[in-house]
Structure 1
Amino acid sequence: MARRARVFVVSGPSGVGKGTLVSLLRERVSCLGLTVSATTREPREGEKDGVSYHFMDDAEFDRRLAAGEFLEWAWVHAHRYGTLRSEVERVLAGGESVVLEIDVQGGLAVRSVMPDAVLVFVEPPSMAELERRLRGRGTESEEQVSLRLENARSEMERAAEYDVRIVNDDLERACSELQEVIHTYEMDGGPSQDVRDQARD
């Protein structure tokens, strides 16, 4: 059976470890392409337009947004960042799948534009464990921790809208499950019952 390149969206609350999970996944799966995000911030030293980011001013960002060229976008520290549809299509045309690590709102926005995108929600073993991880960072104030936990509860209420849910209680196991999800969707077009069961255990 021929392999089919797909778009995979990985979302989850802050502190769940999705960034670490996706980084480990990229080390293990060679057929994942990289997209270049767009941003309105100024280039930093050593960054190249079209390589590090697609740098653009607010007017160009607004124009492309109005033209429907973004799959999703968000404000981050007073600047806008977004995923251009053309970037995703470029990678897919090259036969590579795309993994987008974005928030729930962005993930559902991608689904509305690309209905066959595969949405994977990474969740913590419990809210108590998520709180422990957030406090263990030592980088947020009490107010910030409370806000992140509140946002996490809201995001987890929408987890049922995702295709697959993976509990990140062990990084190695979670990465293996995510690899299996990608392989299954690329080859079969949908998850096996085993993958569904693992994601919910």
Structure 2
Amino acid sequence: MSGLTFVISAPSGTGKTTVCGKLLAQDANLRFSVSHTTRLPRTGESDGDDYHFVDEDRFKKLVVEDAFLEYARYAGNLYGTSFAAIEDSLADGFDILLEIEVQGAAKIRASNFEAIFIFLLPPSMKTLDQRLRDRGTDSDEVIQRRLREGNPEISMASMFDYAVINDDLGDAVAKVREIVEAERSGDATSARAKHGIERVLASWLAQEEKTVASHA
């Protein structure tokens, strides 16, 4: 297979779907890999475009058939990336964008599948809480579960290659595009210096600690 694979993950509510949508609209050589999920469609989502929406029995059948590059359960629902969703596009020379949960990204990282991993961070955990509530698609119980799972996901961020803070949408998209173009060029030295996971994550964690301390 030719072409590059970019994996973008983030805690729920960070805005990864919006960032990925903008990125795809601006980059004709990037193709979106449509994942499978057992969760119900949200308003405006359509089967085959946003996700392949299936019931749990169908999903488990695909697992048995070894159809998935990765799959994971998140917030009570199953999510998975099928081999079929990416192989054809890569073979045609397109680059692939995988928008997946952090647990799924960890499975890809642990496998022999070659990819570039980008982690999106919210401006703060407080902002993440507000974004989930403003979205209006989840019950309070689901929001609390997503927030509980958000912290462990951030603790897993060090396995990624890059990090981008989604404080301003246009700025976040521009930074991800810079990473994509740098990786395509074969020389990502500058991008890694600016957006490398260690640098960005350390800065974010330091700011989060200051915020927590100021409210103590």
Is TM more than 0.5 here?
yes
Shift of 1:119: 0.9
Query: For structure 1, which runs of at least 5 residues remain unmatched after alignment?
Result: 42-46
Percentage identity across aligned positions? 33
Shift of 1:146: 2.1
TM-score (norm 2): 0.73
Distance 1:187 1:48, change over 3 A: same
Could you say which residue in structure 2 is the equivalent of 1:174? 172
Distance 1:69 1:145, change over 3 A: closer
Shift of 1:149: 1.3
TM-score (norm 1): 0.78
Q: Which has the higher contact order (CA 8 A, sep 6+)?
A: 1
Could you say which residue in structure 2 is the equivalent of 1:72? 70
Instruction: Supply the AA of the counterpart residue of 1:146.
Output: Q
Could you say which residue in structure 2 is the equivalent of 1:140? 138
Could you say which residue in structure 2 is the equivalent of 1:44? none
Could you say which residue in structure 2 is the equivalent of 1:14? 12
Superposition map of 1:11-90 within 5 A:
11-38=9-36, 53=52, 58=57, 62=60, 64-66=62-64, 68-74=66-72, 80-90=78-88
Shift of 1:7: 0.8
Distance 1:154 1:193, change over 3 A: same
Superposition map of 1:117-128 within 5 A:
117-128=115-126
In terms of fraction of residues, the more helix-rich structure is: 2
Which stretch shows the higher mean deviation, 16-25 or 145-154? 145-154
Question: What is the Cα-based RMSD across aligned positions, in Å?
Answer: 3.2
Instruction: Supply the AA of the counterpart residue of 1:21.
Output: V
Aligned length: 191
Query: For structure 2, which runs of at least 5 residues remain unmatched after alignment?
Result: 40-45, 204-216
Give the secondary-structure state (helix, strand or coil) at the position aligned to 1:122.
Answer: strand
